[in-house]
Amino acid sequence: MVDGHIGGLDFSSTRTFLSIKPVLFIKRLIFQVMIGRYHPLTQFIQTITAYFIGIGFEVMEGPEIETEQNNFDFLEVPADHPVRDVQDTFWLAQPANSLLLRTHTTAIQAHLGHNRQPPMRIITPGRVFRNEATDATHQSQLYQIDGLVIDQEVSLANLVATLESFLKYLFGKEVGLRFVPHHYPFVEPGMDAHIKWAPKGRWLEVLGSGMMHPEVIKNMGYDPETWRGLAFGMGVDRLMLLYYGIDDIRHSLQNDFRFLRQF
Amino acid sequence: MKLPISWLKEFINVDKTPPQIGDIFTMLGLEAELVEGEVIDLEITPNRGDALSIYGLAREYAAATNQRLLSPETNQVEFLNESSLLKIINQVPALLTRLSGLVISIDEIKPSSEKIQRRLQSVGIRPINNIVDITNYVMIELGLPLHAFDFDQIKNSTMVFRLSHDRELIRTIDERTYHLPAGIIVVEDQNRLIDLVGIMGAANSSIRPQTKRVLLHCPIINSTIIRKTTQQLGIMTDAAYRYERLVDWGLAQSTLKRAWYLIDKESSAQLVEAFDHIYQPSLQRTIPVTMAEIHKTLGIQISADEVGDYVTRLGFTATRKKTTSHVQVPSWRIGDVKYPADVIEEIARLYGYDKIPKTPLPKTKVKIQVDDSFTLKSKVSKWLVGQGFQEVLTPTFVSEQEIKLLDYKPGSQHSVQSSADNPDTRYLRPSMVITLAKVFVRNNWYGQLKIFEIGETFAKKNEQTKVCIAQTGHQKKYWLQYVPQSEIQVISSDHPLAKHLKLRTTVTFVETDLEALREQVKRVETSESTLTKVNYRPYSRFTPVVRDIALIVDQSTSTEEIRQTIASIDERIFLVDFFDEFKSDKFGPSQLSRTFHVIFDNPKSPTLESVIDKIWQQVVKSVQERGWVIRG
């Protein structure tokens, strides 16, 4: 269990306990601590990245401010097609530059090509932004983790196996699991992973994924005849909500101690 | 897209229950989001314009179940290459590649039959009259939008299809007036605009009670220009929605035949003329796909015969040359299927994603480069958590007023255009001091706070990863060990920001670059992380009440045991938060003191002091029964 950790010195605590006399306190040379904790989203990010590091992935991080080019065009999400509607965007109020707050951690793919050659396995966590109305299941700022594998031989069968192992690791071996086709412009074939708790329960979408689109591989500067890739992405807030049965996604960024101190 | 099963059954044999039918569509990539009685609500992704109709969905169902598709009943119609009644001029043949139409004389404009009205209502469309209803009916059924004009309102029987000029005026059927930008496809008769093509008709040429002659027209329009139009004007209609996602060039005559069949059945009417102007042929595309590519992408063993069978069932034609299949794309998929990978997805869809074998990735031979910044974040957070700090994650957006209170100039800061639920301009935080201060205010009931965040801060020049720490009281001396004076700020309650946020305690803020702490945390070892098992409890909207208890216990007593003992006394004890521990000679050997915030919170109502007093008596009793000594 991730409990608090102990250590450090703090001479200035003046909190009045129920019936303790301050005098007693100050005179004593004490080795006193407060119990610190991680935010549950961080616990999730650390657990998930550790899992993928264990199967040969390396962690990369990208910037929150992105160009339209990196966030959309590079990933074959054209400006004049309704597929852009799927991700409502925060554009920075700078007419000249088409800068935005990244809508997905998939934007990392644009940063890969120049600096390295395949094969590679990358996992990338980070904060992303959606310009939509906030409610119990929607927030304008959320956390995602994207992953990809580029190699000479990698297939849909590898993708299914990888996601199944991961989801069973996270949610337990008994979790109901299914893979269904879904469309994302940057993967083809595209796929969603759904989980289900009880036999009569609802299927819940938890992961988007697919084989990296050959055009994206080309955009990276690699030869799609030689290199192929698989990619996947998940919403960490959503996974956290499902895992713990949390009622409202907005708790993540409100930081009420009644929320934080439960984890 | 709402799919009434009774309507689906007109095109294909269906012998399954609604949930089973929903599952079949889900496994095809058209997810059944809701099944309500005999209507299934499907999510149609933007690439599948062909599935935005009952017939298109029946086509998919037929492919999945390997059945024949039934055609809709139509009337036989002879189409002229050129209309003899209308003078049609197309100035944009690259954008409007086909224009077909029917001219019909009708005795009476009246409400449609019960059957038609109910069908429309079942998919959320309001019935209007026996002509407009049929245009909507065939749009839902076959996917191609038609527009109905009052033929006699078309001045001089002239229709010029052209691009709009800047500021041209049109008044649409829903009584709205638009000053159009240049570059939108419109229809002009003798001297005025009578249609916003593909989007909405104009009021001046719409069907009215006195209409005696009807023009039903069926334009095939480029999807990009319709998309640009909907974005520029902020209009969306069922027709525009379909055009944006590409309509089927090859369906023009069938749709009009079907429309005429339905009008003929419903009303007393005559077909005066049918015309079909073809300006440009449908896009053609043949894609070569090799068996090797299929095997490598999917990781399955599949024969060329199987591949041929699947693509044929979906309406593609495949010609085999050795190990390459040359797959010709049908007109309704021309917008979506462009690359070999697209064809491979079609094969996988029919093969069944649930049948794809699970083949684990081999062990990687690549040497792992450890990302500095991620590891550094882990080390810094561990270092801070180890000193008793609670990690928080706060919003990126702050207000103009807030940044000014910390002496940041709005002009040198990034802002975003207003969003869905917040009309005020929001700024990207130049500093986490603002947002961490808000965490203090929100949790002022807790007592002393020690919090930190590692996150991005923004200035127009750059984005910077920083660490921000906030702690109750005057902590400057402590932090000078780690950061320069300029990065420490003690904010007391008379600071403008504190006044604005109603921060009533003194708080020390430290904000430094993540990189600046690298040396400090060099020797911190990051450890394995696992998820806490928690029975999560939602908290109330009331301010909680906290009482502390410090217990002297044997060091072998777990905090979990103490927590359970206290928490189990009453469910209004929301959380027993272990937050302090220390050893002292005074307590005796192998004894230490553990302090807990006992947090009272109740979703139904604020917890009253008198109630807490009663519960507290129980807590004291219970704790003493265990032999734990209450300090103080």
| ipTM of the prediction | 0.92
Average pLDDT over residues A152-173: 97
Helix axes B132-142, B54-65, angle to 10 degrees: 20
Q: Which residues of B touch A183 (CB under 8 A)?
A: 29, 45-48
Nearest to B249 by CA among B200, B212, B285, B199: B285
User: Average pLDDT of chain B?
Assistant: 94
Confidence of residue B417 (pLDDT cuts 50, 70, 90): confident
Q: Which residues of B touch A20 (CB under 8 A)?
A: 550, 631-632
Q: Which residues of B touch A58 (CB under 8 A)?
A: 368-371
Q: Which residues of B touch A243 (CB under 8 A)?
A: 531
pLDDT at B367: 65
Tell me the per-residue pLDDT of B344-369, one tens digit each, with 9 for 90 and over.
999 999 999 999 999 999 987 666 66
User: Which residue in the set A50, A190, A261 is minimally distant from B575, CB to CB?
Assistant: A261
Confidence of residue B274 (pLDDT cuts 50, 70, 90): very high
Closest CA in chain A for residue B358: A161
Cα(B187)–Cα(B96) distance, integer angstroms: 12
What is the nearest CA distance from A257 to chain B, expressed in angstroms? 6
Provide the percentage of residues in chain B whose pLDDT is more than 90: 86
Residue A104 touches chain B, beta carbons under 8 Å? no
Instruction: Please indicate whether, in this complex, the C-beta atoms of B536 and A245 are within 8 angstroms of each other.
Output: yes
pLDDT at B420: 66
Structure pTM? 0.91
User: Which residue in the set A61, A153, A164 is minimally distant from B296, CB to CB?
Assistant: A153
Residue A201 corresponds to which tokens in the numbers above? Answer: 């329960």
Residue by residue, what is the 3-state secondary structure of B501-529?
HCCCCCEEEEEEEHHHHCCCCCCCCCCCC
Q: Which residues of A touch B289 (CB under 8 A)?
A: none
Tell me the per-residue pLDDT of B137-170, one tens digit each, with 9 for 90 and over.
999 999 999 999 999 999 999 999 999 999 999 9
Residue A201 touches chain B, beta carbons under 8 Å? no
Tell me the per-residue pLDDT of A186-244, one tens digit each, with 9 for 90 and over.
999 999 999 998 777 889 999 999 999 999 999 999 999 999 999 999 999 999 999 99
Among A residues 14-53, those touching chain B with beta carbons less than 8 Å apart: 14-15, 17-21, 24, 28, 30-44, 46-47, 49-50, 53
Q: Is the confidence at residue B294, as pLDDT, over 80? A: yes
Instruction: Please indicate whether, in this complex, the C-beta atoms of B458 and A153 are within 8 angstroms of each other.
Output: no
Q: Is the confidence at residue B557, as pLDDT, over 70? A: yes
Q: Residue B398 CA to chain centroid, in angstroms?
A: 24
CA torsion, ordered B488, B494, B499, B505, to nearest 10 deg: 70
Cα(B340)–Cα(A16) distance, integer angstroms: 71
pLDDT at A10: 27
Q: Is the confidence at residue B29, as pLDDT, over 50? A: yes
pLDDT at B528: 75
User: Which residue in the set A24, A42, A82 is minimally distant from B245, CB to CB?
Assistant: A82
Could you give the strand order of the β-sheet that contains B507-513, starting from the edge strand earlier in sequence? B390-391, B450-458, B463-472, B507-513, B488-491
Cβ–Cβ < 8 Å for B443, A255: yes
Q: Which residues of B touch A217 (CB under 8 A)?
A: none
Nearest to B198 by CA among B270, B246, B150: B246
pLDDT at A35: 83
Tell me the per-residue pLDDT of B472-501, one tens digit each, with 9 for 90 and over.
999 999 999 999 999 999 999 999 999 999
Cα(A190)–Cα(B376) distance, integer angstroms: 34
Instruction: Please indicate whether, in this complex, the C-beta atoms of A41 and B533 are within 8 angstroms of each other.
Output: no
Cα(B410)–Cα(B458) distance, integer angstroms: 12
What is the nearest CA distance from A34 to chain B, expressed in angstroms? 4
Least confidently predicted of A95-109, B201-215, B241-255, B424-438: A95-109
User: Which residue in the set B385, B528, B574 is minimally distant from A36, CB to CB?
Assistant: B385
Spatial neighbors of B495 by CB under 8 A, at least 6 apart, are: none
What is the nearest CA distance from B371 to chain A, expressed in angstroms? 6
Please, where are the H alpha helices in B123-251?
132-142, 223-233, 238-244
Residue A132: DSSP 8-state: S
Residue type, B543: T
- The number of residues making up chain A comes to 263
Q: Which residues of A touch B222 (CB under 8 A)?
A: none
Q: Residue B153 CA to chain centroid, in angstroms?
A: 43
**Tokens 């139904």 appear where?**
B604
Tell me the per-residue pLDDT of A30-79, one tens digit each, with 9 for 90 and over.
344 568 999 999 999 999 999 999 999 999 999 999 999 999 999 999 88
Q: Which residues of A touch B630 (CB under 8 A)?
A: 18
pLDDT at A162: 98
What is the nearest CA distance from B207 to chain A, expressed in angstroms? 31
Q: Is the confidence at residue B372, as pLDDT, over 80? A: no
Average pLDDT over residues A87-102: 83
Q: Which residues of A touch B528 (CB under 8 A)?
A: 50
What is the nearest CA distance from A114 to chain B, expressed in angstroms? 16
Cis peptide before A189 (omega within 30 of 0): yes
User: Average pLDDT of chain A?
Assistant: 85
Instruction: Please indicate whether, in this complex, the C-beta atoms of A93 and B46 are within 8 angstroms of each other.
Output: no
Instruction: Please indicate whether, in this complex, the C-beta atoms of B385 and A158 are within 8 angstroms of each other.
Output: no
Greater confidence, A8 or B39? B39
pLDDT at A6: 28
Tell me the per-residue pLDDT of B301-329, one tens digit each, with 9 for 90 and over.
999 999 999 999 999 999 999 899 999 99
Instruction: Please indicate whether, in this complex, the C-beta atoms of A181 and B447 are within 8 angstroms of each other.
Output: no
